[in-house]
Amino acid sequence: MNYSIFVTRSIPEAGIEVLKKSCASVDINQHDRVLSKSELIEKVTGRTGVLCTISDTIDVEIMNAASNVKGFANYGVGYNNIDVVAATVRNIMVSNTPGVLTDATADLAWALLFAAARRIAESDAYFRKGAWKGWGPMQFLGADITGKTLGIAGAGRIGENMALKSKGFGMTVLYASRHENTRMEQELGARRVALEELLKKSDFISLHVPLTDKTRHYIGPREFGLMKPSAILINTSRGPVIDETALVKTLREKRIAAAGLDVYEDEPMPKPGLTDLANVVCAPHLGSATQETRTRMAVMAAENLIAMIQGKVPPNLVNPEVVPRFPEGGPH
């Protein structure tokens, strides 16, 4: 019970309640912003555990300051913000929140796909500024979705859910992935292809790969060159998966039709020129942002953290390599 926890941002109360039941001290960042490195170092010092978010950089400096911390519970499924290797060598556990945000993130990918295909953001802006003078046969013509080809890059939970939701639209589904996804193939009729083929044949391309050294700029000038001029690119994974400067150029020159983005290379800043373009729909990293999903994430992250500080294996451990090194009774 003598546990001292730091929570780097305000999260739904249900998660805080879970923490308070087991911990003597739960300190929450009261600013509605990401803490600076020095603020974070000060806050993690002497803590037993930290509940952090995808915008906190948890690197070696933070871990050195957090010498009593038994675990970092990330509030998010992606954990590229945490130096997991550095955590593992220090026997610090890291957890994430998989599964609970799958539907919400795939739903947002679909929302961006619809918005980009049917030019919703662009026509909403036109309507709001009072420019609309009445119905017109050639106004804001977009693209059909039903019966088209959807290319999904990354066949994990969210990519698979994207494929599942395409069934109502009678789409042909291609996917590119390091691993075969038999459920996608057998139950959803998806076909695994090389990325090149997916880029050449898809009308809509939706990215669902994690950010790693291998997927940084996974989509760049060469890949844009393979896409159809009518292609629409959707990204709800991580910004650096796309070379955003090359995307701006490609969209400006109308070498693909449009993009729907939830994530950016240098969040929160878009690359120069991105927001001047009419053929891009931009959401501010809202993939998991529903009341229900964020509440489930808060509880899940809190439960992971409680397990870690008690020296138990949390339900969503991302560095299982630390477990065999636990001395009997716990990691420290």
Quickly count: other Cβ atoms within 10 Å of residue 157's Cβ: 17
- 16 interacts with ligand DGY by CB under 6 A: no
238 is catalytic: yes
Query: What is the total residue count of the chain?
Result: 332
**Taking Cα atoms as reference points, which of 49, 87, 39, 96 lies closest to residue 71?**
49
Nearer to ligand DGY, 170 or 284 (CB): 284
54, 92, 163, 242: which one binds ligand DGY (CB under 6 A): 54
Complex with ligand DGY: residue 96 or 181, whichever CB lies closer = 96
- The least distance separating ligand DGY from the CB of residue 137, rounded to whole angstroms, comes to 40
Q: From residue 239 to residue 278, what is the string marking binding to ligand DGY with x (rule CB under 6 A)? A: ----------------------------------------
Question: Beta-carbon neighbour count of residue 296 at 10 Å?
Answer: 20
To ligand DGY, the closest distance from the beta carbon of 211 in angstroms equals 9
Q: Which of 12, 49, 71, 76 binds ligand DGY (CB under 6 A)?
A: 76
Candidates 40-48, 76-84, 187-195, 200-208 — which segment interacts with ligand DGY by CB under 6 A? 76-84
Please name which of 327, 299, 229 lies closest in space to residue 16, comparing C-alpha atoms: 299
Among 49, 154, 287, 314, binds ligand DGY (CB under 6 A): 287
Q: What ranges in 145-282 are assigned the alpha helix state H?
A: 157-165, 182-186, 195-201, 221-226, 244-252
Q: How far apart are CA 47 and CA 49, in angstroms?
A: 6
Segment lying near ligand DGY (by CB under 6 A), choices 73-81, 217-225, 275-283, 309-317: 73-81
Q: How many other CB atoms are found less than 10 A from the CB of residue 93?
A: 29
> Cα–chain-centroid distance for residue 140?
30
What is the closest distance, in whole angstroms, from the C-beta atom of residue 54 to ligand DGY in the complex? 5
Binding window for ligand DGY (CB under 6 A); candidates: 12-20, 37-45, 70-78, 133-141: 70-78
Residue 267 annotated among the catalytic residues of the structure: yes
User: Residue 92 Cβ, how far from ligand DGY at the closest point, in Å?
Assistant: 20
Of 41-49, 74-82, 130-138, 141-149: span binding ligand DGY (CB under 6 A):
74-82
CB of 75 to ligand DGY, least distance (A): 8
User: At 75, phi and psi to the nearest 5?
Assistant: -90, 80
- 13 carries an active-site annotation: no
Contacts of 7 (CB under 8 A, 6+ apart): 16, 19, 26, 27, 28, 29, 50, 51
Nearer of residues 111 and 231 to ligand DGY, judged by Cβ? 111
- The count of chain residues that interact with ligand DGY, using the rule CB under 6 A, is 7
Helix orientation angle between 291-309 and 102-117, rounded to the nearest 10 degrees:
150
Nearer to ligand DGY, 188 or 283 (CB): 283
Closest CA to 158 of 52, 213, 78: 78
Q: By CB under 6 A, what part of segment 79-118 binds ligand DGY?
A: 101
Q: Which of 119, 285, 294, 296 is catalytic?
A: 285
| Torsion angles phi and psi, residue 191, rounded to 5 | -120, 130
DSSP 212-251: -TTTTTSBSHHHHHHS-TT-EEEE-S-GGGB-HHHHHHHH
Residues in contact with ligand DGY by the rule CB under 6 A:
54, 76-78, 101, 287-288
Which residues carry out catalysis?
A: 238, 267, 285
